[in-house]
Amino acid sequence: MSKQNVEIVRKPLRVRDTSRRTLDQRLSLRFPRLAAANTRLTARLAPSSRLRQALVWRGARLALEAFNRRDVNAAYIPLHPEVEFYPARGWTQAGLKPCYRGLEGYREFVSAWSEVFGADLRIEPEELIDLGDRMVMLGQLPVRGQASGVPITEKLAYVFTLKDLLVIRQQEYLDHAEALKAVGLEA
């Protein structure tokens, strides 16, 4: 697909400070085939479709809120069963594995990440960019230095490769410009 034919939709993305599972998340976990069918139908819509935008942005917000409250099962909803997760280079240099595969691998990553950064680790998204078969999430990662306790905020970005609107590959970056460059966009 050439860059000229790619529809790009950029919109702000925010999460609530506190949240809990929604009815549609509970139904998706209880009836995964129904959720998969709904996702496949949504994937057929163009990125500029208002319905797709509403569903994708809501799904992204709910998944990030689930991650922030460590509800890993609800955070799984937008993930393909064969998902591959590639942490940022900085995290792999700090001891995380270079790749986590499948839903159990994702659970292992979340556990390892929480051990390193503590229970108050949150992702604070700023923008979601829909490119059709890929998405980019730009945000911040507020953390505290383990030894000093000094709060710092790291830039955080994800490039999601999609299969039927489910994340099949997730690449993490600690630089927004690097993530945008990876998908052929300028910062």
1-46 pLDDT, tens digit each: 444 566 899 999 999 989 999 999 999 999 999 998 999 899 899 8
Domain boundaries, the chain: 9-182
CA-wise closest residue to 112 among 129, 91, 141 = 91
Q: What is the pTM of this model?
A: 0.88
For residues 120 and 114, what is the distance between their CA atoms, to the nearest angstrom?
A: 8
CA-wise closest residue to 7 among 40, 41, 50, 36 = 50
pLDDT per position as a tens digit, 159-176? 999 998 999 999 999 999
3-state secondary structure of 138: strand
Residue 120, C-beta contacts closer than 8 angstroms, at least 6 positions apart: 144
CA distances from 174 to 27, 76, 89, 157, 161 (A): 34, 22, 8, 6, 18
pLDDT per position as a tens digit, 126-172? 999 999 999 999 999 887 656 666 777 889 999 999 998 999 999 99
For residues 138 and 123, what is the distance between their CA atoms, to the nearest angstrom?
A: 10
Q: Which CATH number fits domain 9-182: 3.20.20.120, 3.90.1640.10, 3.40.50.970, 3.10.450.50?
A: 3.10.450.50
CA-wise closest residue to 141 among 149, 128, 153 = 153
3-state secondary structure of 53: helix
